[in-house]
Amino acid sequence: MRHENATRTVILGVAASDAHVVANQLIAHALRAQGFHVVNVGTCSSIDEFADAYAEHPEAEAVIIGSLNGHAYEDLQDLPSARARGLLDCPVILGGNLSVGSYKDPADLDRFHKLGVDVVLSDPELLPATLDELRARTAQPSTAS
């Protein structure tokens, strides 16, 4: 159980071509139970919709994108541009079934990282710990003088 003073905000949604809502709702519920404020943009969400949510909630510590239909790579093609323009200036976490078929190519992780995804999660139960780890990384004091 969390014992923090400030509410932590995350943006959650499902990739553009994906209408799988059940996992999205379960993840939102679990994060809220952990004390997070969840801005849920829902299913079939474009990168622009995630960017709009981030513009409304710049305090968000991460954007969490789920995909179960295996088309996440195609759905995230606008992510590099949004990141380059500063429209998503927080960690992006991706999870779910990220490729079509049963064969999972290890090179897929590299492709997602090149698109601007910071973390690829295979297990949604790891999400709270991953958020804590990302927060700890960004809270490290700068050594620049």
Tell me the CB-side half-sphere exposure of residue 78, using CA atoms within 13 A: 13
Report the SS3 class of residue 72.
helix
| pLDDT at residue 145, rounded to an integer | 43
Of residues 96, 98, 93, the one with CA closest to residue 135: 93
**What is the reported pLDDT for 103?**
59
In a domain, 118, yes or no: yes
Token pair belonging to 8: 């932590």
Residue 104: the pLDDT is 66
- In this structure, is residue 32 part of a structural domain? yes
* Total number of domains constituting the chain: 1
CA atoms within 13 A on the CB side of 80: 8
Integer CA distances (angstroms), 72 to 45, 75, 123, 135, in order: 11, 5, 16, 25
- Answer whether residue 21 is part of any domain: yes
CA dist 62 and 67 (Å) reads 16
Say if 47 falls within a structural domain: yes
Question: Does residue 23 fall inside a structural domain?
Answer: yes
Domain with 71 in it: what CATH number?
A: 3.40.50.280
pLDDT band at 107 (very low <50, low <70, confident <90, very high): confident
What is the rounded end-to-end Cα distance, in angstroms, of the chain? 37
Please report whether residue 129 resides in a domain: no
Mean pLDDT score of the chain? 89
**27 band by pLDDT with thresholds 50, 70 and 90:** very high
Flag whether 142 is in a domain: no
Quote the domain boundaries for residue 117: 8-124
Q: Would you say residue 52 lies in a domain?
A: yes
Q: pLDDT confidence of 73, banded at 50, 70, 90?
A: very high
Alpha helices by DSSP H, the chain:
22-33, 47-56, 72-75, 79-84, 107-115, 127-138
Alpha-carbon distance of 98 to 67, in angstroms, equals 6
Q: What is the pLDDT of residue 142?
A: 54
Among 38-47, 95-104, 133-142, top mean pLDDT goes to: 38-47
